[in-house]
Amino acid sequence: MQHPIISAPAAPTARTWLVLEAMLRAAPPPAKAAADLRGALLGGRRGIVRSGPFFQARIAPLAARLLPAAWMRAASARYFGR
């Protein structure tokens, strides 16, 4: 039984949730992220420790730093179907 306040999400919201769930499935499991961090610490590495798919770990963060905020908002809206 659903809570009376919680109902089925509207179509745009449902699309966003589907995309977020797909992103979470593509992300590394916590154990992998922890192992990558541990390896970096034990190896004396400094700076950013990346763990995960190439796009999520490298391209998206680079784009967020280099592209104008309006472009990133537009890309996010398109990606999440908004």
CA dist., res. 28 & res. 56, Å (int): 10
Give domain status of residue 17, yes or no: yes
| Cα 71 to the center of its chain, rounded Å | 17
Provide the number of structural domains found in the chain. Answer: 1
pLDDT in tens, the chain (82 residues): 455 555 556 666 888 888 888 888 888 899 998 999 999 999 998 888 888 888 888 898 899 999 999 999 999 888 887 7
Give domain status of residue 21, yes or no: yes
Q: What is the residue range of 35's domain? A: 11-79
Give domain status of residue 51, yes or no: yes
Give domain status of residue 2, yes or no: no
Q: Would you state the pLDDT for residue 72? A: 92
Q: Would you state the pLDDT for residue 9? A: 60
User: Can you give the pTM of this predicted structure?
Assistant: 0.54
